[in-house]
Amino acid sequence: MDLNQFDGKPVRITDSDGGVFEAIADYFSPDYSEHEFGREQEGLQLVNWLFYEDYIKEIEVLEDKGGPWGPFSGPFGTIEEENLFDEPCLADENLYSEEDAHVLRMLRCIEKYLDPAAGREIKNREEIMHLIRDVIKLSDDERTLAKARELIEKWG
């Protein structure tokens, strides 16, 4: 499989365990992988998640069909939820991303879980609100800014 063809594209990866992950892919070569991660195998990075070739069961490029989530199947996905609830929280990996789509997907994930009705509590709410304020300072994407301001206004 030539993973380089997916570099910079929105993809859906199904891993060998059946997990499904969506994000914009960054290709890494075997040389880079060995230097950075100690494993000489090419792969794709989706935000902060690494997928080596032998761990990818299926991969597809996602096309933007004009839906509300761009090329993605929903407002956010597994990567955003896992990063938000990891210990320590890794939401900053998404919120400081150079990809506006990653930032916006994390903001949508945060929005869901700031609501107590979601049934799962964000433990580090103050830190998350600080990160959202940083997004407002750093972003120039109108959709991202609107969502970040909405969250601060409602929950901050």
> Is residue 73 in some structural domain?
no
> Is residue 89 in some structural domain?
yes
CA atoms 93, 25, 120, 154: torsion sign: positive
Whether the CB-CB separation of 11 and 62 falls below 8 Å is answered with yes
Distances (CA, A) of 150 to 53, 71, 87: 39, 23, 26
Q: Which pLDDT score is estimated for 32?
A: 87
Q: What's the pLDDT band for 36 if we cut at 50, 70, 90? A: confident
Structure pTM?
A: 0.93
Q: Name residue, tokens 């150079």.
A: 98
Are residues 104 and 37 part of one domain? no
Whether the CB-CB separation of 83 and 103 falls below 8 Å is answered with no
> Is residue 53 in some structural domain?
yes
Are residues 88 and 31 part of one domain? no
What are 41-91's pLDDT values in tens digits?
999 999 999 999 999 999 999 999 889 999 999 999 999 999 999 988 899
Q: Which pLDDT score is estimated for 88?
A: 84
Q: Which pLDDT score is estimated for 155?
A: 86
Q: Provide mean pLDDT across the span 31-40.
A: 87
Q: What is the CATH number of the domain that holds 33?
A: 2.30.30.100
What does the alpha-carbon distance between residue 121 and residue 82 come to, in Å, rounded to a whole number? 13
Q: Which pLDDT score is estimated for 87?
A: 86
> Is residue 46 in some structural domain?
yes
Whether the CB-CB separation of 70 and 101 falls below 8 Å is answered with yes
Residue type, 1: M
Are residues 38 and 7 part of one domain? yes
Domain end among 36, 61, 86: 61
Cα 149 from chain centroid (whole Å): 20
Number of structural domains, the chain?
Answer: 2
Domain that holds residue 8: 3-61
pLDDT at 1 over 80: no
What does the alpha-carbon distance between residue 73 and residue 87 come to, in Å, rounded to a whole number? 26
Are residues 82 and 133 part of one domain? yes
Q: What's the pLDDT band for 122 if we cut at 50, 70, 90? A: very high
